[in-house]
Amino acid sequence: MEETPCGFNSHRPHMPKTLKIIPLGGLGEVGRNTLLFEYGKSILIIDLGFRLPEEDMPGIDYIIPNLSYLKGKEKNILGIIFTHGHYDHIGAIPYLIQKLKNPPLYAANLTRGIILKRQEDFPLQPKLEIKKIKDGSKINLGPFKIECFRQNHNIADNLGFLIKTPVGNIFHSSDFKFDPNPVYDQPTDFKKLKEIANKKILLLLSDSVGAENEGHSLSEKTILENLDEIFKKAKGRIIAATFASLINRIQQIISLSEKYQRKVIVEGYSMKTNVQIARELGYLKAKKGTLISAKEIDRFPDSKITVLCTGAQGEGQAVLMRIANKDHPFIRLKKGDTIIFSSSVVPGNERTVQILKDELYRQGAKVFHYKMMDIHAGGHAQAEELKKLIKILKPKFFLPIHGQYSMLIAHAQLAREMQIPEKNIVVVENGKVVNLQKNKIWVEKREVPSSYVMVDGLGIGDVGEVVLRDRQTLAKDGMFVIVVVVERQTGRVRGSPDIISRGFVYLRESKELLAQTRKKTVEIVERATGSGGAVNWAYVKDEIRNKIGDFLFTKTQRRPMILPVVIEV
């Protein structure tokens, strides 16, 4: 079936036009990393983000979207447009952009600045060219006519998109919340949203991250007031940890510090970088002399110091953890310090954050957490706002994006409450292909590749399921190496097998177990080699691996990774 570039089927002119929408990305978070639109041979991509690994993925830095579906279709990519500068929307660019053969990129000023700055950390990568877009910009990419509009979030320059396609108009919400009283940003422009609604929305793609939370997200103004309360009462130093990309929050903390005559020390590579870009581009304001370096901390009384740092997620290498572990070159905790965690805990990090909090208390600090006080607004619209957006736009079809599966389901429920018929709502996970026509939406049976692509150091995608499983085994039960020297002629074991083990048992206290294992190994090898002749060495190794594995399991209830080394002499 040949299709013309506009997607119109030349042989069967009556076939309705179809647009394909495919969410791609790592793990559960659907369409958060990347969303693909395909019409005939034209492809449009929104966002290219990464996800942090789960706790059971040792050594993995990031998970990036699986773009195998685009292999061979690179020339069809008309452009990639970015919603905002959070890493879960832009972080995969350095790993994927060359594979995509450098298509045209579009981003708002701050988003662009963050992307370009991060690209400098990858010196082997080409310099990127990114066209600037802003509220009101129009981009024409083949069958896709895109209009950009401002959406409130917790970073400046966040854009939603109205995508006009031959099938109908699609509204992409980006990450968003409605904020009547934002700080250092304009309030939500409901007039504009109503204007867009008048253009008739066929499909709404809306942020689901806050869908499970009732009510309305907190206004940034409320957060500022609560933070002010903490600043007013703090006698010693304030150490505020937040995400490096929460530029609004960083601004609030800097402004409050100025209000209470505190100097601000910005610590953490990503935090420093973001503060620098945001200041250069005018998105962050600090008076001359407010920001000082960590080395100068002792030049000022404790009551005049704020430390703004990374590590609110308990990340091992981040600043707050290093301070707690007495590992930071200039900053040690003192009694009377006030620590503010001003960011929600990313699911999966709860335990590490708890351990960090305990350690901070142990050293005499006062800890304020978002659960105790509303000092962090998620940045994501909650149930009432999500319903309001549906009410304003009155879309025919609804596809929840951005979030874990349970959030998508909760969001779909809200859409039903807003009278969108069941058959007009689709909930899909990554790799599913959604077909959209003027009067119909449905999901294809096939799936495009969506397995994890893991980044470990310089390697992209080379750590697959097998390597990961090995790492999990090593982390769980350690490893056990058995070295056997076998005479090729006779198939007999020479001497006693050598055993090296890490993370399994303490060898010196397990002499009996080791002696039994050696004996067992000799038996297994000699049975497997038979009585001379051609020996299948792979079989011998498998036998050692399986039988010694079973043996150790019966003795210890542990399954270390067994590495047989057979040396023929």
Alpha-helical segments (H) within 99-246: 109-119, 190-198, 220-233
The CB-of-281 to Zn ion minimum distance in angstroms stands at 18
The angle subtended at Cα 500 by Cα 497 and Cα 501, nearest 5°, is: 135
Tokens linked to 218? 């907190």
Complex with Zn ion: residue 175 or 337, whichever CB lies closer: 175
Complex with Zn ion: residue 38 or 175, whichever CB lies closer: 175
Contact call for residues 111 and 80 (beta carbons, < 8 A) = no
The CB-of-92 to Zn ion minimum distance in angstroms stands at 15
The one-character DSSP state at 482 is: E
| 361 CB neighbour count, 10 Å cutoff | 12
DSSP line for 256-306: HHHHTT-EEEEESHHHHHHHHHHHHTTSS---TTTEE-GGGGGGS-GGGEE
Rounded CA gap, 219 and 181, in Å? 6
Contact call for residues 105 and 133 (beta carbons, < 8 A) = no
Rounded CA gap, 192 and 227, in Å? 32
Catalytic site positions: 207, 380
CA 388 to chain centre: 28
Contact call for residues 258 and 290 (beta carbons, < 8 A) = yes
Three-state DSSP class for residue 156: coil
The CB-of-208 to Zn ion minimum distance in angstroms stands at 13
Length in residues, the chain? 569
The CB-of-304 to Zn ion minimum distance in angstroms stands at 33
Complex with Zn ion: residue 86 or 263, whichever CB lies closer: 86
Q: Which residues are near Zn ion by CB under 5 A?
A: 86, 175
Complex with Zn ion: residue 86 or 237, whichever CB lies closer: 86
Closest Cα partner for 389 from 137, 186, 188, 157? 188
The CB-of-283 to Zn ion minimum distance in angstroms stands at 15
The CB-of-114 to Zn ion minimum distance in angstroms stands at 12
Rounded CA gap, 241 and 319, in Å? 9
Complex with Zn ion: residue 85 or 142, whichever CB lies closer: 85
Phi/psi of residue 390, nearest 5 degrees? -60, -40
Complex with Zn ion: residue 18 or 174, whichever CB lies closer: 174
Three-state DSSP class for residue 336: coil
Complex with Zn ion: residue 111 or 521, whichever CB lies closer: 111
Q: What is the CA radius of gyration of the chain?
A: 28
The CB-of-175 to Zn ion minimum distance in angstroms stands at 4
